[in-house]
Amino acid sequence: MILLKPSATIEVLPDGQQILETIERAARTCYKSEPQGDPAGFVQKLLGMRHESTIEHVSATVRFVVDRGISHELVRHRLASFSQESTRYVSSVDRKKVRPDIQTKTDVIAAYENGLSMKRIADLSEGAFSEWQVWLNLKDGGIQRRPKGNRGLVYDDFFESIDTVEKAYLLGMLLADGSLRRHGNQIHLTQNQKFSWYLWLMMRKFLCPHVKRSPDKGCHQMAVSSDHLYESLTQKGLVPNKSYDMAAQDSTRLWDSLPHHLKWSFLRGFLDGDGHVRFFRQSNPGQTFSCKVGWLGHKHFLDKIAAFLEQELGYKPSVRPRGSELLHGVLISKPDVGLEACRRMLVGYQFPFGHPAKTTRMFEHLSPIETPFASWGDPNFQMIIPPWVTGQTSPDWLWAEALDTAEQAYSAVIKHGWSPQQARSVLPNSTKTEIVVTANLREWRLVFNLRTSAAAHPQMREVMIPLLKEFQTRVPVLFEDISPKEPDTCSKS
């Protein structure tokens, strides 16, 4: 999935002087008068007399990249021509990957390495290969069979080098809410069911596209089996049964495996797993602004975090026991320090790769930070970002999860043989579409008056206001009298 900002691009619009001269010649035909050398003044006089039929002799063409909801509004302008991207013939996923054409040994191997089972490959070959023949082809090609239940396509080298924000984040999450299991060399992550989707998404993108979620006592369990991933993590200091067996030297190895500039991303992952963030007003007479930004874990690891915070922020928090010998906590209680820590933890953050509740609390009291949007899944599944989705408020994750569910559903029905025109019934309103609109300039004036007004839809205003400014720059006489009005902030949008 790719999340896109909408756009509107002028593809055809004559030169401004040429437009005015064309309108003047057409209008003077009515009066059989001769040009006076001032087409701009003449056209302005026509508009003042509301003699607008004469400006219909010039047209403009604009390409819009918007969602399906906005395209539905655009086509209601009847005095225009439209050419729109089809959901009948254009698939929103790569059909060859979802439902590959399997005719050769190479096709068999590619499908197996992309996670398809031998039975599924035999079914898709439509009689070209039996399941036994699929196995023989894999054997001849030197392809090792996966253990039962393993869907393959594990990105084994992901943790070899911690060199991205996402690697550091997931390493911190593994320390907090993860575990290594010797049986099958499994890497497990656990998250509350209410918030688990974003973590499942990250595991699908970075570790294994086919990883599953399993409910377990109000949480979701997610597991990947990989000898190489397991070895990479143990070399960095993570150990099985870490709550009891992780020693001081393991903590040192883990901390030292992190590049200095990614330690903050690691701390965000650790906090999203075993930490808390809260900014609040106390109930005292002065309503003192306070905060609690903290982590829970082994004392010897928290000592390193405390030293890092002192070095980076000039603030030395204490490490205190939290109910047992094993569990300790380190807490930032000074609001300005807590906000600065949050700001640094959010450097490199991409929506939606973070805990919905905790990330929202981090953003709540910070000065505006522009948030980049991540991509995942099939790049052909393209959605438009509404202007109210910033990647910083709780509903944003619900929106992104709904789109992800739609992508999975669309891929599933394509995989089972539906055509794009059938599968489109599961596409959401946010689906990106391209639509080319051609209309005469009188119709464009009507469009701008309606679609930049205070009553217009926010997504329509998002593309139409910049487009109006472009028209005003190119042909000011025809469009300078149109002025967008701001919506009443007291009323519902």
d(CA 48, CA 50): 5
Q: What does the alpha-carbon distance between residue 357 and residue 371 come to, in Å, rounded to a whole number?
A: 16
pLDDT of residue 224: 92
Supply the pLDDT for residue 235: 95
pLDDT of residue 152: 64
Kindly list the distances between the CA atom of residue 161 and the CA atoms of 94, 107, 207, 232, 314, in Å, as whole numbers in the listed order: 31, 32, 14, 9, 29
Write down the pLDDT at residue 361: 96
Closest CA to 166 of 400, 355, 349, 375: 349
Return the biggest CA–CA distance within the chain.
Answer: 99
- Backbone φ and ψ of 250, nearest 5°: -65, -40
Instruction: Write out the two tokens for 65.
Output: 């990249």
pLDDT at res. 65: 98
Report the pLDDT value the prediction gives residue 487, as an integer from 0 to 100: 81
> Cβ-count burial of 458 within 10 angstroms (0-12 exposed, 13-18 middle, 19+ buried)?
exposed
* Cβ-proximal residues to 276 (8 Å cutoff; 6+ apart), any chain: 292, 293, 294, 358
Nearest Cα residue to 116 out of 101, 216, 252: 101
d(CA 290, CA 271): 18
Q: 64 near 6, Cβ under 8 Å?
A: yes
Residue-level pLDDT at 489: 57
Q: What is the structure's pLDDT at 147?
A: 60
Give the pLDDT of residue 490.
46
How would you write the pLDDT of the chain (493 residues) with one tens digit per residue? 999 999 999 999 999 999 999 999 999 998 888 777 789 999 999 998 888 899 999 999 999 999 999 999 999 998 999 999 999 999 999 988 888 889 899 999 888 877 778 888 898 888 899 989 998 999 899 887 766 555 567 899 999 999 999 999 999 999 999 999 988 889 999 999 999 999 999 999 999 998 999 998 899 999 998 999 999 999 999 999 887 888 999 999 999 999 999 999 999 999 999 999 999 998 888 888 999 999 999 999 999 999 999 999 999 999 999 877 788 999 999 999 999 999 999 999 999 999 999 999 999 999 888 999 999 999 999 999 999 999 999 999 999 999 999 999 999 999 888 999 999 999 999 999 999 999 999 999 999 999 999 999 999 999 999 999 999 999 999 999 999 988 875 444 3
Query: For residues 147, 153, 154 and 157, what is the CA-based torsion angle, rounded to 10 degrees?
Result: 130
Q: Is 306 within 8 Å of 296 (Cβ atoms)?
A: no
d(CA 227, CA 144): 14
